[in-house]
């Protein structure tokens, strides 16, 4: 974090300074990292005591003090020797502090901000952009999937006076949440990747999802750029909701930044990218899955708008070998058995994309095994969407389905009810049963996909299978 006095932090957060026994005063300067997790507290840092649904961060403030926190942001005065700023709401204070830090770094004149949202692909696109932009200037980007009202401002607080680019992943589970994040750090370039059924149950339907994702571009200025997936019929119309200049990416003729000649294989994906002005390049992309080409196009579009030359962008894309842990992560290798662990999260769109990739990378004479768990947060659409994925697995000719948990059972029922299928489906109740079944079933040369929502926890099954077949 940039250096601020405790008085400046108190003013930014509308808080009240309370001195501890350390001798710190309101003029004491703090420049350590800010966090809501005591495990991440470093000497000289700031600990924000956040109240959660099931716990209260104030309980962990003594641990933060022991780890060397220089300042606590709290909602009540604590009997601890560390300097404190007492605020009305810690999460609001975190956002207010992030807003002030962004404002100050912006005032230095060199910071450019990219916002990324969409139902799928945010983290991959953010990671690709970070790698590309790191080649041309100091870049801060969200760690993991830090994209909510806590994670996003925590990332913003990592800015320093030297930071040239901020890539802010902005997620939402309801209308108004992206707008809140944009008020902290308004993007120069706003990206909307896709509008799908991820979290549709929380949003209250696809129309509300569209409204929420549109918030990325509705407040952009005419001098800003909206980067839109023009292949998505729900994203493309957002061009009419923004005053910003629009750059479209996709596979079709409408796209300004377009991919063609896509080849998917077990080592990744190759494609040709064409950009405005007639320039093009072949990209040898190590990230597995044709669907990640769209994320690469979004990153390319944003980087071009920030002045990065196409050869530099391609070099950055080709450096990335993994989108993120548990996202199309290739493991295994013994006896030619490949495990693809894509179980960090799942929506109907990403589940379909992963199954299509599994079918594409199979080698002649080999089999495909899909270990699938529940897709959560779909609300009233859950049943029919699980049915649809079961039928898709049949149409793609997946050799063996292993469906895990009661929440995913309809995928199994739909698959076995499809009489033309010559594959098999087995439903099991637990992760351990899934692991034991796959290790017994797998043959040399097989490819195994593990896919589910984060809540289903199958990513750990994927890790176990990767180690077993290493």
Residue numbers belonging to the annotated binding site? 118-124
Nearest of 110, 208, 210 to residue 161 by alpha carbon: 110
Sheet with 16-18, side-by-side order of all strands: 16-18, 83-86, 71-74, 46-48, 34-35
Annotated binding site for ATP: 118-124
Beta strands in 319-406 (DSSP E): 329-332, 338-341, 368-372, 400-404
Q: How far apart are CA 75 and CA 279, in angstroms?
A: 55
Q: How far apart are CA 281 and CA 303, in angstroms?
A: 15
| Alpha-carbon dihedral 289, 258, 234, 219, rounded to 10 degrees | 110
For the stretch 75-96, what's the b/e string if a residue is b when 16 or more beta carbons lie within 10 angstroms of its beta carbon? Answer: beebebebbbbbbeebbebbbb
What residue spans of 4-138 are helical by DSSP H? 6-12, 61-66, 90-107, 122-134
Nearest of 130, 169, 136, 138 to residue 152 by alpha carbon: 169
Q: How far apart are CA 405 and CA 427, in angstroms?
A: 8
Phi-psi group of 74: left, alpha or beta (phi > 0 → left; psi -120 to 50 → alpha; rest → beta):
beta
DSSP character at residue 324: B
- In the block, tokens 């501890």 appear at 20
* CA 2-165-175 angle, 5° bins: 95
Phi, psi of 415 (to 5 degrees): -65, -45
User: Residue 75 contacts by C-beta under 8 Å, 6 or more apart in sequence?
Assistant: 49, 51, 58, 86, 87, 88, 89, 90
Q: How far apart are CA 252 and CA 230, in angstroms?
A: 8
For the stretch 280-293, what's the b/e string if a residue is b when 16 or more beta carbons lie within 10 angstroms of its beta carbon? Answer: ebebebbbbbbbbb
DSSP character at residue 230: T
| Tokens matching residue 29 | 């300067």
| Tokens matching residue 292 | 């990640």
């Amino acid at each position: 974090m940039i250096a601020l006095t405790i008085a400046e932090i108190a003013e930014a957060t509308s808080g009240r300074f309370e001195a501890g026994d350390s001798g710190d005063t309101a003029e004491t300067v703090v420049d350590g990292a800010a966090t809501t997790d005591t495990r991440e507290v470093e000497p000289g840092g700031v600990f924000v005591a956040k109240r959660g649904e099931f716990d209260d961060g104030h309980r962990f403030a003594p641990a933060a003090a022991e780890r060397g926190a220089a300042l606590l942001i709290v909602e009540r005065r604590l009997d601890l020797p560390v300097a404190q700023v007492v605020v009305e709401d810690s999460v609001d204070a975190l956002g207010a502090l992030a807003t002030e830090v962004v404002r100050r770094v912006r005032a230095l004149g060199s910071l450019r901000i990219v916002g990324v949202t969409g139902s799928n692909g945010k983290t991959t696109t953010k990671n690709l952009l970070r790698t590309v932009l790191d080649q041309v200037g100091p870049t801060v980007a969200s760690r993991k999937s830090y994209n909510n009202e806590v994670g996003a401002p925590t990332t913003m607080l990592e800015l320093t006076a030297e930071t040239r680019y901020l890539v802010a992943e902005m997620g939402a589970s309801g209308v108004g949440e992206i707008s809140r994040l944009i008020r902290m750090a308004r993007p120069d370039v706003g990206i909307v990747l896709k509008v799908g059924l991820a979290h549709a149950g929380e949003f209250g339907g696809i129309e509300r999802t569209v409204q929420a994702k549109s918030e990325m571009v509705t407040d952009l200025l005419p001098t800003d750029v909206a980067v839109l997936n023009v292949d998505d019929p729900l994203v493309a119309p957002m061009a009419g909701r923004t005053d910003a200049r629009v750059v479209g990416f996709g596979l079709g003729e409408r796209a300004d930044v377009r991919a063609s000649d896509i080849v998917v294989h077990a080592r990744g994906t190759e494609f040709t990218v064409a950009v405005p002005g007639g320039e093009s390049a072949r990209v040898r992309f190590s990230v597995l899955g044709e669907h990640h080409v769209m994320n690469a196009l979004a990153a390319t579009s944003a980087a071009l708008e920030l002045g990065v030359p196409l050869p530099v962008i391609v070099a950055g894309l080709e450096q990335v070998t993994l989108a993120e842990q548990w996202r199309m992560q290739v493991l295994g290798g013994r006896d030619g058995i490949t495990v693809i662990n894509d179980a960090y999260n799942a929506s109907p769109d990403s589940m379909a994309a992963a199954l299509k990739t599994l079918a594409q990378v199979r080698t002649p004479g080999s089999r495909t095994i899909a270990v699938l768990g529940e897709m959560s947060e779909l609300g009233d659409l859950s049943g029919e969407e699980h049915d649809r994925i079961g039928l898709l697995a049949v149409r793609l000719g997946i050799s063996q389905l292993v469906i895990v948990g009661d929440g995913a059972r309809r995928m199994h029922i739909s698959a076995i009810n499809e009489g033309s299928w010559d594959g098999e489906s087995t439903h099991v109740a637990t992760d351990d049963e899934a692991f034991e079944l796959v290790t017994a079933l797998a043959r040399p040369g097989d490819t195994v996909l593990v896919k589910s929502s984060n809540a289903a926890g199958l990513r750990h099954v994927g890790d176990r299978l990767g180690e077993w077949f290493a």
